[in-house]
A and B are shown apart, each in its own frame.
Chain A
Amino acid sequence: MNFSYRIAYVFWRNLVSYKRFVLTTFLASLIQPLFYLITFGIGMGAYIGHFGGKPYLYFLVPGVLITSVMMTASFECMYGTFVKMVHEKLYDSLIATPVSAEDAVAGDIAWGAFRGLVSGSLMMIVAIFMGILPVSLVSVLLLVLLMIFVGILFSSLAMIVTAFAPNFDFFNYYSELVITPMLFFSGVFFPLDKFPAWMKTLSLFLPLTHAVAISRAIFNGTYTRGLIFNFLVIFVLEVIAFFIGVRLMKKRLIK
């Protein structure tokens, strides 16, 4: 593995290009989570009433927030990276400079995480306008860190998919078979404790479950010891996914 500070240059390149898309991506990354908030939060929230002494939205917002980080980071490192690699051959010209393949891929993973952070932060701002606030300023700060942390995980996982992708259609497998089920089995919309045992076990294998658990705890200031386990699961998976993602992408880029 040949990493250097040039990761930052790759990130910067993405930032320079981003300024032309920033508004459209705002829209794209807001709409879906916003629908979840409105339909589930306000529509269903009216029937569900209170969850642990607080309105349902306090349960929903931290879950949707981290979901939007997952979605944006994943899609950036699938479609975004694929376009740069296959259609625009940008990686080819990057690795002809002192930037190594590892730098380029890590820079894009960092970029995916940043895009996730932007989406998640936008959600948080919308929630704040709806009057759904994290318990404290420290919580806001911790949520930002969490979003970056979770963004790197999902960017890295998406990189693994991209390393194998022969075309765009391939990404459907990942988004339909992994991302979408994760959305429904990770306790984003409902607490997991009413699910049958097998489903609870299954959910433990989904990284989003752990991310949502931490997000919800931070948002509402209800810390428990179990969070250490959630954190460790994400951390270990993230380190593994990052190195595998970089390695596989390098294999694809350098022939």
Chain B
Amino acid sequence: MKPIITALKLCKKYGKFKAVDRISFEILEGECFGFLGPNGAGKTSTVRMIHCVSPLTSGTLTVQGMDANIDNRAIKQNTGVIPQEITLDNDLTVRENLQVFAHFFDIPKAEAKKRIAELLKFVELEKKRDSKIDQLSTGMKRRLLIARALLNQPKIIIADEPTTGLDPQARHLIWQRLRQLKSQGVTLILTSQYMEEAQQLCDRIVIMHQGRILKAGVPARLIEEEIGREVTEIRVAADQDDRLLAVLGPLACGHERVGDTLYFYCRDGRALMKKVLELDLPDTVHRPASLEDVFLKLTGRSLIE
């Protein structure tokens, strides 16, 4: 696969604040690439530069062989954006929302009509086509945003936290649809703070923090490298640490004390669990390691505001 987006020492400043700080990355054609990070990590600033609504402060950014800049209509013509905020046109009906957008992309009327019918079916909103936006649930609005992002049959789709605030049903439906798009060869760029979402969808991710990329790679491999395979959480008072570490420490490849919990990271947790049972520690959870562990390890566990 060849790169469809290349960023080199990309920088974005708002006044003195560095939102994106000299990051470099490559997104390959047809993959799902995730930008993960806590609030304010620079994810949205980065994707906004990719879809040409925010000028670069410095560095280079190439999208489909073209320089990304705010006046590049050709890049915008080939990109679909599912925004973080619901930016639907409240004065219009579901169908009118799509019609107006089809216009913005110069899609001929007959073709637009056909695509709108298909897309409403794709996001399961056919019955709502004449509803006003305020009659839709949040999940429906998000689905309509997806339909809107697909009108121009984009080669690149940017989904900026597409499932924030959704119930599990709606979230899974959106994941389904995004995977479906990927299988059709679309390059998908996702930003998210939900690690499960990234694990579900992304081929490769970068973890961002304070405008920089901390780690990049394939989710499963990152977990393996950073954490191991399994995590044991023991909720126990801190004064027990020395005693427990002496027994359990050698059986794990790493440990961490956070608040009321002692974490052990293992490649193979069986020996450790056996010991835990012997010690009769009731408040214990043993589970597979996840991207969330990697994320918290890299970006820290304190609140980021």
Mark A residues whose CB is within 8 Å of B.
Answer: 2, 4, 6, 9, 12-13, 16-17, 20-21, 88-90, 92-101, 254-255
Find chain B residues with CB under 8 A from A88 CB: 87, 89-90
Q: Which residue of B lies closest to A100 (CB)?
A: B71
B60 beta carbon closer than 8 Å to chain A: no
Structural contact, A94 and B104, CB atoms closer than 8 A: yes
Contact A96:B53 (CB < 8 A) given known A16-B100, A254-B70: yes
Contact of B87 among A2, A6, A92, A98 (CB under 8 A): A92
Contact of A96 among B14, B55, B71, B76 (CB under 8 A): B76
B284 beta carbon closer than 8 Å to chain A: no
Structural contact, A9 and B104, CB atoms closer than 8 A: yes
Structural contact, A98 and B106, CB atoms closer than 8 A: yes
B14 to chain A, nearest CB (A): 6
Give the interface segment out of B30-38, B77-85, B123-131, B211-219: B77-85
What total of A-B pairs shows CB separation below 8 Å? 70
Interface class of chain B by DSSP: loop
* Selected A-B contacts with CB under 8 Å, 7 pairs: A9-B104, A89-B87, A98-B73, A99-B104, A100-B71, A101-B70, A254-B54
Q: Which residue of B lies closest to A250 (CB)?
A: B70
A120 to chain B, nearest CB (A): 23
Structural contact, B53 and A95, CB atoms closer than 8 A: yes
Bound Cα distance from A88 to B92, whole angstroms: 12
Interface class of chain A by DSSP: loop
B226 beta carbon closer than 8 Å to chain A: no
Q: Which residue of A lies closest to B73 (CB)?
A: A98
Bound Cα distance from A97 to B79, whole angstroms: 8
Contact of B85 among A12, A89, A99, A100 (CB under 8 A): A89
Contact of A100 among B14, B73, B88 (CB under 8 A): B73
Find chain A residues with CB under 8 A from B88 CB: 93
- List 14 additional A-B contacts (Cβ < 8 Å) besides A89-B85, A95-B53, A98-B105: A2-B71, A9-B100, A17-B92, A20-B91, A88-B87, A92-B53, A92-B83, A92-B85, A93-B81, A93-B83, A93-B148, A96-B83, A98-B77, A254-B54
A21 to chain B, nearest CB (A): 8
Which residues in chain B, 7-56, are within 8 Å of chain A measured between CB atoms? 14, 51, 53-55
